[in-house]
Amino acid sequence: MERSRRYLLYVKGSLLDSQINEFASMVHDRMTECIYVEKLTSFKTSIVPEEVRYIPVMEKGRKALEEINEEMGLAFDEQDLQYYTKLFRDDIKRNPTNVELFDIAQSNSEHSRHWFFTGKLVIDGQPMDKTLMQIVKSTLLANPNNSVIGFKDNSSAIKGFPVKQLRPIQPGSTCPLDTVTTDLDVLFTAETHNFPCAVAPYPGAETGAGGRIRDTHATGRGSFVVASTAGYCVGNLNIEGSYAPWEDPSFTYPANLASPLQILIDASNGASDYGNKFGEPLIQGYTRTFGMRLPSGERREWLKPIMFSAGIGQIDHRHITKGEPEIGMLVVKIGGPAYRIGMGGGAASSMVSGQNDAELDFNAVQRGDAEMAQKLYRVVRACIEMGDSNPIISIHDQGAGGNCNVVKEIIHPQGAKIDIRAIVVGDHTMSVLEIWGAEYQEQDAILVKPESRDLLQAICSRERLSMAVIGTINGEGRIVLVDSVATEKCKSSGLPPPPPAVDLELEKVLGDMPKKTFEFNRMKNLREPLDIAPATTVLDSLKRVLRLPSVCSKRFLTTKVDRCVTGLVAQQQTVGPLQITLADVAVIAQTYTDLTGGACSIGEQPIKGLLDSKAMARLAVGEALTNLVWAKVTSLSDVKASGNWMYAAKLDGEGAAMYDAAIALFEAMIELGIAIDGGKDSLSMAAHSSEEVVKAPGNLVISTYVTCPDITKTVTPDLKLGDDGVLLHIDLARGKRRLGGSALAQVFDQIGDESPDLDDVSYLKTVFNEVQNLISDELISAGHDISDGGLIVNALEMAFAGNCGIRLDLTSSGSTIPETLFAEELGLLIEVSKKNVDLVLEKLHHGDVSADIIGQVTSSPIVELKVDGVTHLDEETSVLRDMWEETSFQLEKFQRLDSCVELEKEGLKNRHEPSWKLSFTPTFTDDKYMTAISKPKVAVIREEGSNGDREMSAAFSAAGFEPWDVAMSDLLNGVITLDEFRGIVFVGGFSYADVLDSAKGWGASIRFNQPLLNQFQAFYNRPDTFSLGVCNGCQLMALLGWVPGPQVGGVFGAGGDPSQPRFIHNESGRFECRFTNVTIEETPAIMFKGMEGSTLGVWAAHGEGRAYFPDDSIFNHILGSNLAPVKYCDDDGTPTEVYPFNPNGSPLGVAAICSPDGRHLAMMPHPERCFLMWQYPWYPKNWDVEKKGPSPWLRMFQNAREWCS
């Protein structure tokens, strides 16, 4: 879909052309949009695609390659220039085309081939015995254990469980869904998109998230996407009006890169928006800022940022191995059309920022289309849900290098002849080079057998996705790229066909090419001890530390991202009664009916690496495990990890530091019995600024993942026991208190001289196992790791989340006050009840773990701190929490309406635990409905961009219905009608990406197709039917006039009525995802029978959820007739318009509207994402519910089932 925009500007006086041009440049994306300064008279263009040209290597030798290298930004280094000169001049003996050289540059870039990791390293004149890749892989060789995919695909995977998965009985067609027993393994992948986010943060992060999503689904022969994690490292934020004394005001920033503040805001928006539209929840992450002039005089800062994206998913065990290409197999591209987007990204991302031409940098950044990604994934999912009949033999996602890379990968080693004109293009002015090399997103290359072609085409057609057969495996071992259009032109003119644009032997450009050699010297870091004025109080230090982005609240990241979509999220970031962003571990469920799942965590400590790269690596592993420990896992030995390396590896000292970190990582993991099974590298982490090269701090991000036998056995950091709670400290450093690289050091513009470390790896292993035993025995009520900010900050965070107080009584044991409180030595804090303290200490002692009682939890929200009997802090919890939230709220003001930010900020000071109550007891559905031979059918209807259909199907299935997967294309094509259904559901998501506002495209597809409109109207009028619309479906039902219905005043049908209630943009101006309070009132709505009077939590996730009533009389009629059954309410259970209790600004808190007869219900919140208690992120202790049982929201669906009887 193409969209045009016109701007009407109100100005005093006249506008200069230069001002118009400046404004236009601010409001359009010149890669994907054009400015029209006058009316169009024709859609024809004068652009002539560039011809394929030959580079005179035979005549000019290496010089010709040097020239084209500079012109096209190919990133050839000295060894590349030598190799390719020899290849073409001496071996192939012909001039290469520009397409071939571009192809080689992308597919053999550092980004794509990892030359550094696989290269020979010489440090201080000594050749190293192993490559970095060999070092890292050796951890998996030592402990393969449960690994099923490692270091050989787009993701890694570990052995999972046999489970009952809900899936269509005839995938790819209109049919019911049912549970199928299958072995599902857990997979994980992680990568970064750093260079694109430096140049264009929003699209850079969009495509970073999108590319990683395709890595997930393109594993094996296709796999399932479940959830994601994200991380951001940027330079000093320099927020206007916010004094941060650790930020140097003299620093300058390169004009060709976005500012650190813009990167953090726009990149997090890009990643969040893409996942929201795709339907992948983002459930974990980290954020770090740093910019400092070190004692050596060197400036270190993330001018080139880190945008980290990881994904946890699942794969059918039958599909873990890609099939080999065989002669006759079809090479197929599925996904969106080609555009002139992302030229040379693989090469550009392999350079230090500033080495390349700014225009080439801009051209190298891709653009994302989450709706297309969703359609692509649905095709892949339909194939893999066929099980043994999966038509996909092999699959690779298109990323760096575009077709250059992905096509060669899929045909290697057999080879194929590819027709460039068979590729579907959206821009017919593209040259052969651009079609072949552009990194347009949302594309996969797959191999299928000829007999599967029609099946695949049918699936693609149903999902409205383009499919193109671009070649056939021929066994010649070559990549040959021909232009059938040019060939036909030559033929019609009596000329010989043009030579191929690419004609290369795969082994010579993709096989075992010569290794590269890299030489380094170790650099000695100049260190200075930490120097903080003796008069600095604990409160003085906290006022700084709590505002540092690596420490502060991450509310500015979590409320804008969907954390509940799929309904498979068992633990996301927010915890406790106030839903504070604090969780250490993320947990997913494998299915809706089993309790098995997977957990993941993140560890990274780059600032410590400025002092000691070995310690940094060990601490990253330690932090990852002290985060992971709070979920019950199958075994520590089952833990696998992705290792992502972000260094300026080829600059002074960095390669050696990276090697030392790898050795330390290897040694720690071997001792722990865990392993790295994948990862990525980004080794040009530096940028030019003010005539100096600014290196980013080297960073190793460890992402662990593991299987969970019971997802309900997860411990969160929020203190829960009030006056009955006791705090224990497990000290992994055994008394050492080193402040180097700490948050405290950073906020005083220093890094110190001695880094913390994981000195006793075996003790970490012991502690992990013993804490796991306590979790199994349900003896821990809350737990948190000690990390950024140190013990005092992490204890405060537990109180913030629990909305309570603590009395800490610490012993310094010879350390200073700052060391005692702010040292970031590894450790754990756990809350246990008073009655269990002795038992817990005894169990830990029996397991050779030492733990100390360091304080009491208090119901009174006051924080008291004593060290060696001397009081150092006595303050209200809310005051300290306000400090911790301050930076987050400042960042929120760049993202949502100021007044909304202030309301939430002020309201948080006086919040209390929500007063929920239930008027009934939730129970599982009666067996007579679940085992019935004939069940009522419900059509779960979805449109392009819908993403909430599987969890909706699961909720109806759990209530005894037979849910059917019905795409709008099925109804439009007459594949099925609504006659046979008792219920229909319009699901959530972003139909047509909300391009024309929410649900308008979906509504138009019904309203302006008269036969289809008649069919929906007939269903609506049948007295034996019901309908439900949630989120995007709610917006649709309002646009169609289904609620409150024609009886009240809204007009059903194509005519439209300006008085019809509808849902518009949230008052905050952005997407909101919150677990919010609602109350259910007296209503005729059939789905709320017996639920009236209940106040409870529910997930809400939308950008356009504000109920709008243009006609007051209709609004009054709705209220007077009880047609607004659900309302947002505050912590006291009172319906409210106050933000954020009311996340969208709906008048009087209206969250749902029903028809007068109660059969048709539209609601913005998502009951289908929390119909089981393990989907609830928090609930009060006094609720009479089973954490492994149904939630109150299942009653909604059960009521519909009862009504159908």
H-run or E-run covering 940: strand 937-942
pLDDT reading at 670 higher than 80: yes
What's the pLDDT at 1? Answer: 59
What's the pLDDT at 29? Answer: 76
What's the pLDDT at 1088? Answer: 99
Give the count of beta carbons closer than 10 Å to the beta carbon of residue 761. Answer: 17
- Spot the catalytic one: 371, 1166, 1170, 1202: 1166
More confident residue, 340 or 159: 159
d(CA 1090, CA 1108): 28
Tokens 């794509």, residue? 112
pTM listed for this prediction: 0.96
pLDDT reading at 382 higher than 80: yes
- Spot the catalytic one: 217, 1168, 1170, 1204: 1168
pLDDT reading at 498 higher than 90: yes
Per-residue pLDDT tens over the stretch 673-726: 999 999 999 999 999 998 899 999 999 999 999 999 999 999 999 999 999 999
Under DSSP, the state recorded for 92 is I
- In the residue annotation, 233 being an active-site residue is answered as no
Yes or no: say if 707 and 176 are a contact pair by the CB < 8 Å rule: no
The closest of 1194, 998, 1003, 1189 to 1096, measured between CA atoms, is: 1194
**Average pLDDT value for residue range 905-926:** 97
What's the pLDDT at 1056? Answer: 65
Per-residue pLDDT tens over the stretch 622-645: 999 999 999 999 999 999 999 999
Yes or no: say if 621 and 668 are a contact pair by the CB < 8 Å rule: yes
What's the pLDDT at 1053? Answer: 43
pLDDT reading at 1039 higher than 60: yes
The closest of 961, 919, 937 to 1093, measured between CA atoms, is: 919
d(CA 859, CA 724): 9
d(CA 1180, CA 1165): 20
What's the pLDDT at 1126? Answer: 99
692-695, strands of its sheet edge to edge: 291-293, 299-301, 692-695, 686-689
What's the pLDDT at 358? Answer: 59
**Average pLDDT value for residue range 1007-1025:** 96
C-alpha distances in Å from residue 618, one per residue of 221, 668, 970: 35, 6, 54
Per-residue pLDDT tens over the stretch 844-890: 999 999 999 999 999 999 999 999 999 999 999 999 999 999 999 99
Q: Is residue 1054 very low, low, confident or very high in pLDDT (cuts 50, 70, 90)?
A: very low
Q: Residue 644 forms beta bridges with which residues?
A: 701
d(CA 683, CA 692): 18
**Average pLDDT value for residue range 134-151:** 98
Chain length of the chain: 1205
Residues with Cβ within 8 Å of 134's Cβ and at least 6 positions away in sequence, in order, are: none
3-state helix, strand, coil in the chain (%, to 5): 35, 25, 40
In the three-class reduction of DSSP (H, G, I as helix; E, B as strand; rest coil), residue 140 is classed as helix
User: Which residue segments constitute the domains of the chain, with CATH numbers given?
Assistant: 716-876 (3.90.650.10), 928-1065+1105-1118+1152-1204 (3.40.50.880)
- Spot the catalytic one: 197, 233, 1031, 1170: 1031
- As a whole-number percent, the residues of the chain with pLDDT over 90 amount to 87
Residues with Cβ within 8 Å of 723's Cβ and at least 6 positions away in sequence, in order, are: 856, 857, 858, 859
Give the count of beta carbons closer than 10 Å to the beta carbon of residue 312. Answer: 27
- In the residue annotation, 1168 being an active-site residue is answered as yes
pLDDT reading at 349 higher than 90: no
C-alpha distances in Å from residue 730, one per residue of 723, 786, 838: 21, 10, 15
By DSSP bridging, strand 1160-1163 and strand 1026-1030 are parallel
- CA 858 distance to own-chain centroid: 37
Tokens 């197709």, residue? 1009
d(CA 370, CA 653): 40
Give the highest mean pLDDT range of 36-45, 141-150, 488-497: 141-150
Q: Is residue 350 very low, low, confident or very high in pLDDT (cuts 50, 70, 90)?
A: very low
Of 549-553, 697-701, 780-784, 1057-1061, the poorest mean pLDDT is in 1057-1061
- In the residue annotation, 1166 being an active-site residue is answered as yes
The closest of 1050, 1057, 1073 to 988, measured between CA atoms, is: 1073
